[in-house]
Structure 1
Amino acid sequence: MTSPKAVVTNTDSKPLEVKSVFYSDGVQCAASLFLPEAGAETSDGLPAILMVHGWGGVQGALTGPFIAAFIAAGYAVMTFDYPGWGSSEGLPRNCINPIKRVGNVESALTHLKQQSVVNEKKIVLWGTSFGGGHVVDTAAQHPELLGAIAQVPMLDGQDAVKAIPLLSLLRFGAYGITDCFMGRRPIYIPVVSAPGEFGSMDRDGAEDAMNRGIEIAGIQYDNRVAARSVLTIGMYRPIKRLAKIKIPTLLIGASRDSVAPFNRMNIENRNKDYVQTKMIDANHFEPYFEPVLSQNLQYQLEFLHSLSANKE
């Protein structure tokens, strides 16, 4: 299937946002391409960053400061919504299957490469949280890319499951198994919840972070995820693909992360040639906000600068 023609919006402001759609598994997905300035181009196209959202992530939520920083650094930035999430089509809504999501990232990457203003040889993958795992999976399959960044990445579902309190784990299992028999009418649980309340993420200030993120972005958020989704976490282990990565990759972990524990030594031992790590003293959600955001962005911008320098 070919994608319909892109629609340009906000032509009187900077950055320029180009809205478009692409198809993944036959489902129409929404995408936005942000450009450094109206009409900004180079003779061989702009370097670009494909942003891969996390567990319950949608376009606009928690990514604004990163988009602004990358655009200021001269990159085009593309965001997208997974099928069944945000502005994308697809039923049932708000279901997560990590294997299918990696396929969605592949479709988004193909779409980005097709944009006339983008240099397809200078694309960087960027992922956060669960999406950081998708970036590792995708990077391992694309040695032609310029590089990859994953912040607070969920690299090992087994470690993530071990961090969940037992009573919550049992409740997730009961809801998830029941939901598997519901077909296109899922049983939903909250994506984020207050500490101690039932939701797929109730730790590390998850609810406060999402509320701040959507308020800053000025968007509405459907705080639901199909319960069957939680059954996929333990089986998802992108850490096994780290050794296959052949492009410069930056992984940024948080020292107090209880949502996606970051085992730095284990990670570094799997690929010393292409993967570098940085640590931030933070929980899972603090790197999205100040005062931790500045350090997080500094690591990422320094890495992007090194990619540009090595390419010249």
Structure 2
Amino acid sequence: MPRRDIEFDAEGTTLRGWFYPAKMSSTRAPVIIMAHGFSAVKEMYLDEYAAAFAAAGLNALVFDNRNFGSSDGDPRYEIDPVQQIRDYRHAITYAGTLPEVDPTKVGVWGSSYSGGHVLAIGALDHRVGAVVSQVPLVSGYENFRSLVRSDFIGEFRRQFDNDRAARFRGESPAMVPVVAEDPQAPSALPTPDSWQWFIETHKNRAPSWRNEVTLRTVEMLSEYEPGVYAPRISPTPLLMLVAENDVLTPTELALATYQTAREPKKLVFLPGGHFDAYLRGFDKSMPPARDWFLDHLQS
């Protein structure tokens, strides 16, 4: 069966996405819940992963995060990581109502920002039977300091405070670009590979993506610490896929977080940088995730 459009309620906000029914399955099958990373929408290669999971006999439910893409939510282009975690959990609840889904066999997959989210979900939601965290953000504080020059941080803090005061007065949120061609220019993700991937993917696959987020999004990123949940995921099985040369969510931060996780766990290195997992490294990133879910959800 082909994928179908879906929508579900998340605390009064309608989230929308796709459901890929498991192929070669005559009974209820496991389901993989998927959402994208920082500001990205589902058309940015999540369809490739979901189709591969479905071809292997796993249902896949993909949705756009609130305030982005086809999902509702205001203010537009604002990312609250804690709310996004709650929305994954709403998606798990919704998936359990679908006739194709075995609600006792749920996997969560996340990449980049949502790679951090699934660490928290794996620790908090005991409906989850397996976790795959790809090129994850594990520490907003450390990530922020790795991307922003130390002499710029004070100015960012002043901007955060000014924006909070302006929003209190009823003014519109301040906005910043997600990426910029000049890595020294203000942006949320100031790396050259971020600029290249987002702009090319927007042009070729995802016209609904917008190159902006609220300034408060960056502040919330700097406060977000999903890596602290890693030791609490056990006994739920955890697979971490870490890029060898990740400069956006630094490799060494992900490795340090992996060391804190307890068994059962597995680490797979992906060649290249942060965004290679979606493109030339897809044949390296997808099979381990697929096999992890098959091993731990089909028994």
Scaled by the length of structure 1, what TM-score is found? Answer: 0.86
Q: CA deviation at 1:66?
A: 1.2
1:192-243 Cα offsets, whole Å, 9 max, x none, are 2224232111215112212332344353211110011111123211111111
1:24 corresponding residue in structure 2: 10
Do the aligned partners of residues 57 and 265 (structure 1) sit closer, same or farther apart at CA in structure 2, a change above 3 Å counting? closer
* 1:175 alignment counterpart: 159
Aligned residue-pair number: 292
Moved over 4 A (4+): none
Match of 2:291 in 1: 302
Letter in 1 for 2:80: N
- Secondary structure of 2:274's aligned partner: coil
Deviation at 1:250, TM superposition (A): 0.5
Which amino acid is the alignment partner of residue 85 of structure 1?
Answer: F
Task: Report percent identity of matched pairs.
Answer: 21
SS of the equivalent of 1:233 reads helix
In structure 2, the CA distance between the partners of 1:195 and 1:150, relative to structure 1 (3 Å rule), is farther
Matches within 5 A, 1:1-312: 16-36=2-22, 41-43=25-27, 45-166=28-149, 167-183=151-167, 185-196=172-183, 197-245=185-233, 246-262=235-251, 263=253, 265-290=255-280, 292-308=281-297, 311-312=298-299
Report which of the two has the higher share of helix: 2
In 2: Cα distance, 1:195 partner to 1:168 partner: 16
Rounded Cα–Cα distance in structure 2 between residues aligned with 1:32 and 1:172? 37
Q: 1:199 to 1:87 in 2, by over 3 A?
A: same
CA shift in 2, pair 1:171/1:259, >3 Å: farther
Q: CA RMSD, aligned part only?
A: 2.1
**C-alpha distance in structure 1 between counterparts of 2:292 and 2:204, whole Å:** 27
Partner SS for 2:165: coil
Name stretches of at least 5 consecutive residues in structure 2 with no aligned partner. none
Moved more, 236-245 or 204-213: 204-213
Structure 1, gaps ≥5 residues long? 1-14
Give 1:258 shift.
1.8
TM-score normalized by the length of structure 2 = 0.89
Distance change (3 Å), C-alpha of 1:218 and 1:142: closer
